Amino acid sequence: MPTGITFTTVELCTYGDDITKPWFVYFDATNHSTGIIIRKQFRGGINFSNNIKERLIMGAELKLFWQEELKHG
């Protein structure tokens, strides 16, 4: 992980399980030397499904992927 940069926990945004809105996973990256905070969002195909259960499964998988990526830098 780069020095001076921290990340929040990866979260899944479902808009209260509303499938008419695009779901995504997100996290914030903070650069402590500049004070800049950037929010990153990734959809990764979650919205191809019109089924809440499938979206939750795909969202959980994408969330795990990004948690591992951030853990390993």
Rounded Cα gap, residues 26 and 13, in angstroms: 7
Q: Is the pLDDT score of 1 beyond 60?
A: no
Position 65 pLDDT exceeds 80: yes
pLDDT, tens digit (0-9, with 9 covering 90-100), for 2-56? 578 999 999 999 999 999 999 999 999 999 999 999 999 999 999 999 999 999 9
Q: How confident is the model at residue 73 (pLDDT cuts 50, 70, 90)?
A: confident
Strands 36-42 and 24-31 turn out to be: antiparallel
Give yes or no for a contact between 27 and 5, defined as CB atoms under 8 angstroms apart.
Answer: no
